[in-house]
């Protein structure tokens, strides 16, 4: 499962010519525009979601906003159904898949493996423009591709 998701993230980066890190927020927003999605920021929500062709986002700081955008792009490329109608087990699986997509999309595997040798978690978070908790999650995915 994780290999497929890592490949899909790489395909999306290639398709939209994403070659620098941290991935620019404007580049992720452009992907959504190119796919005919509308982006709405709502200050009263705590989680992002896709409803039809609209992505509703909470007002968040840049590292978290970047992660949330990439997560929602993951849903678009991995899931072609309404998750509101899924049972809780399937919903959790889809959320895990979208989060893994975001991790692979925002933090390319070979660069990350090299950076792990020299940078601590805080430096990694700064380099990739993501929250430190996301770096910790991304580290858990390294072993999944090797297995």
Confidence of residue 86 (pLDDT cuts 50, 70, 90): low
What span, in angstroms and rounded, lies between the C-alpha atoms of 131 and 121? 10
What span, in angstroms and rounded, lies between the C-alpha atoms of 29 and 35? 10
What phi and psi, each to the nearest 5 degrees, are found at residue 107?
A: -135, 95
Answer whether residue 3 shows pLDDT above 60.
yes
Answer with the residue of higher pLDDT: 25 or 86.
25
pLDDT digits (tens, 9 = 90+) for 98-144: 999 999 999 999 999 999 999 999 999 999 999 999 999 999 998 76
pLDDT in the model for residue 91: 75
What span, in angstroms and rounded, lies between the C-alpha atoms of 146 and 129? 25
Domain count, the chain: 1
- Average pLDDT of the chain is 90
pLDDT in the model for residue 63: 95
pLDDT digits (tens, 9 = 90+) for 51-82: 889 999 999 899 999 999 999 999 999 986 55
Answer whether residue 2 shows pLDDT above 90.
no
pLDDT in the model for residue 37: 95
Answer whether residue 147 shows pLDDT above 50.
no
Domain housing 109 = 2-146
**Which of helix, strand or coil describes residue 21?**
coil
Average pLDDT over residues 27-43: 95
């Amino acid at each position: 499962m994780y290999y497929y998701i890592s490949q899909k993230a790489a395909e999306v980066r290639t398709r939209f010519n994403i070659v620098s890190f941290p991935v620019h927020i404007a580049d992720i927003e452009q992907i959504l525009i190119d796919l005919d999605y509308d982006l709405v920021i709502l200050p009263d929500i705590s989680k992002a979601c896709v409803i039809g062709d609209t992505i509703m986002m909470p007002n968040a700081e840049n590292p978290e906003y970047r992660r949330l955008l990439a997560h929602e792009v993951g849903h678009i490329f991995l899931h072609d159904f309404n998750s509101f109608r899924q049972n809780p087990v399937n919903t959790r699986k889809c959320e895990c898949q979208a989060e893994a997509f975001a991790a692979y999309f925002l933090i390319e595997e070979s660069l990350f493996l090299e950076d792990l040798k020299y940078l601590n978690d805080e430096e990694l978070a700064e380099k990739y423009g993501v929250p430190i908790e996301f770096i910790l999650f991304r580290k858990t995915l390294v072993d999944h591709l090797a297995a």
